[in-house]
Amino acid sequence: MNIMVAETAGFCFGVKRAVEMVYNLLSKGVKVCTLGSLIHNEYVVNKLKNAGVIVIEDIKDIPVGYTLVVRSHGVTKSCTDYMDKNSIPYVDATCPFVKKIHKTVESESFLGRKVLIAGDINHPEIMGIMGYCRGDCMVFKDHQELKKIAEKCKNFSVMDVSLVAQTTFDANEWIKCVNLTKNLFTNPIIYDTICNTTQLRQKESEKLSKISTCMVVIGGKNSSNTCKLYNICSKNCKTFWIETCKELDLDYLRNCECVGITAGASTPEEIIEEVEGAMVTDFESGNEENENFKELLEESFKGDYHGRRIKGTVVSVNPSEIYVDVGRKQSGIVPKSEFTNDPNAKLEELVKVGDELDLLVIRTDDQEGTITLSKLRVDADKHWDEIEESYKSGEILEGVVCKVVKSGILVAYKSFNVFIPASHVGGNRTIPFEEYLNKSVRFKIIEVDSRKRRIVGSIKEAKNEERGQELEKFWSDIEVGKVYKGIVRSIKSYGVFVDLGCIDGLVHVSELTWDRSKKPSDVVSVGQEIEVRVKSFDRDKGKVSLSYKKEDDNPWTVIKNKYPVGTVFETEIVNIVPFGAFARVVPGVDGLIHISQIADHRIESPGEVLSVGQKVRVKVREIDEENKRLSLTMKGIDNPQEEGLQSGEED
The catalytic residue positions are 125
Q: Which is nearer to ligand SF4, 169 or 283 (CB)?
A: 169
Q: Which is nearer to ligand SF4, 108 or 388 (CB)?
A: 388
According to CB under 6 A, which one of 80, 197, 547, 567 is a site residue for ligand SF4?
A: 197
Q: Which is nearer to ligand SF4, 358 or 385 (CB)?
A: 385
Q: Are 441 and 425 in contact (CB under 8 A)?
A: no
- Binders of ligand SF4 among residues 149 to 188 (CB under 6 A) are 167-168
Cα–Cα distances in angstroms (integers) from residue 636 to residues 231, 565, 639, 643, in the given order: 118, 14, 6, 9
The window from 193-201, 365-373, 426-434, 456-464 that contacts ligand SF4 (CB under 6 A) reads 193-201
Q: Which is nearer to ligand SF4, 95 or 333 (CB)?
A: 95
Q: Are 598 and 609 in contact (CB under 8 A)?
A: yes
The window from 20-28, 93-101, 133-141, 569-577 that contacts ligand SF4 (CB under 6 A) reads 93-101
Q: Which is nearer to ligand SF4, 15 or 334 (CB)?
A: 15
198 binds ligand SF4 (CB under 6 A): yes
The window from 22-30, 91-99, 316-324, 454-462 that contacts ligand SF4 (CB under 6 A) reads 91-99
Q: Are 557 and 524 in contact (CB under 8 A)?
A: no
According to CB under 6 A, which one of 265, 373, 418, 530 is a site residue for ligand SF4?
A: 265
Smallest separation, CB 198 to ligand SF4 (Å): 5
391 binds ligand SF4 (CB under 6 A): no
According to CB under 6 A, which one of 37, 41, 72, 390 is a site residue for ligand SF4?
A: 72
Give the sheet arrangement for strand 214-218, strand by strand. 2-5, 258-263, 214-218, 238-242
According to CB under 6 A, which one of 3, 68, 150, 195 is a site residue for ligand SF4?
A: 195
Q: Which is nearer to ligand SF4, 220 or 399 (CB)?
A: 220
- Give the separation between CA 489 and CA 471, rounded to whole angstroms: 18
Smallest Cα–Cα separation from 190: which of 118, 140, 121?
Answer: 118
- Give the separation between CA 230 and CA 219, rounded to whole angstroms: 10
Query: CA torsion angle for 598, 602, 604, 605 (degrees, to 10)?
Result: 0
- Give the separation between CA 157 and CA 573, rounded to whole angstroms: 91
- Give the separation between CA 104 and CA 228, rounded to whole angstroms: 25
Smallest separation, CB 35 to ligand SF4 (Å): 16
631 binds ligand SF4 (CB under 6 A): no
Alpha helices in 2-41 (DSSP H): 13-27
95 binds ligand SF4 (CB under 6 A): yes
41 binds ligand SF4 (CB under 6 A): no
Q: Which is nearer to ligand SF4, 8 or 76 (CB)?
A: 8
According to CB under 6 A, which one of 3, 8, 14, 139 is a site residue for ligand SF4?
A: 14
Q: Which is nearer to ligand SF4, 451 or 518 (CB)?
A: 451
Amino acid at 628: K
Contacts with ligand SF4 by CB under 6 A: the residue count is: 14
205 binds ligand SF4 (CB under 6 A): no
The window from 92-100, 171-179, 574-582, 598-606 that contacts ligand SF4 (CB under 6 A) reads 92-100
13 binds ligand SF4 (CB under 6 A): yes
Q: Which is nearer to ligand SF4, 264 or 591 (CB)?
A: 264
According to CB under 6 A, which one of 3, 98, 245, 357 is a site residue for ligand SF4?
A: 98
According to CB under 6 A, which one of 6, 12, 44, 630 is a site residue for ligand SF4?
A: 12
Q: Are 199 and 225 in contact (CB under 8 A)?
A: no
Query: In whole angstroms, what separates CA 352 from the centre of its chain?
Result: 33
* Burial group, residue 483, by CB count within 10 angstroms (0-12, 13-18, 19+): exposed
Q: Which is nearer to ligand SF4, 119 or 505 (CB)?
A: 119
319-338 footprint of ligand SF4 as x/- string (CB under 6 A): --------------------
The window from 90-98, 305-313, 328-336, 617-625 that contacts ligand SF4 (CB under 6 A) reads 90-98
Smallest separation, CB 454 to ligand SF4 (Å): 17
User: b/e per residue, 92-119, with b = 16+ CB within 10 A?
Assistant: ebbbbbbbbbbebbbebbeeebbbbbbb
- Binders of ligand SF4 among residues 217 to 256 (CB under 6 A) are none
- Give the separation between CA 421 and CA 577, rounded to whole angstroms: 65
Residues 6+ apart with CB under 8 A from 386: 414
Q: Are 606 and 594 in contact (CB under 8 A)?
A: no
569 binds ligand SF4 (CB under 6 A): no
Determine how many CB atoms are found less than 10 A away from the CB of residue 1: 21
Q: Which is nearer to ligand SF4, 15 or 359 (CB)?
A: 15
**What three-state secondary structure class fits 491?**
strand
| Residue with the CB atom nearest ligand SF4 in the bound state | 14
595 binds ligand SF4 (CB under 6 A): no
10 binds ligand SF4 (CB under 6 A): no
- Angle of helix 196-211 relative to helix 224-234, nearest 10 degrees, comes to 30
Greatest alpha-carbon span in the chain:
138
Determine how many CB atoms are found less than 10 A away from the CB of residue 28: 7
Cα–Cα distances in angstroms (integers) from residue 311 to residues 269, 332, 359, 549, in the given order: 22, 10, 6, 70
According to CB under 6 A, which one of 3, 15, 411, 455 is a site residue for ligand SF4?
A: 15
Smallest Cα–Cα separation from 226: which of 246, 198, 253?
Answer: 198
According to CB under 6 A, which one of 97, 413, 443, 582 is a site residue for ligand SF4?
A: 97
- Give the separation between CA 595 and CA 576, rounded to whole angstroms: 10
Smallest separation, CB 172 to ligand SF4 (Å): 17
- Report the interface residues with ligand SF4, using CB under 6 A: 12-15, 72, 95, 97-98, 167-168, 195, 197-198, 265
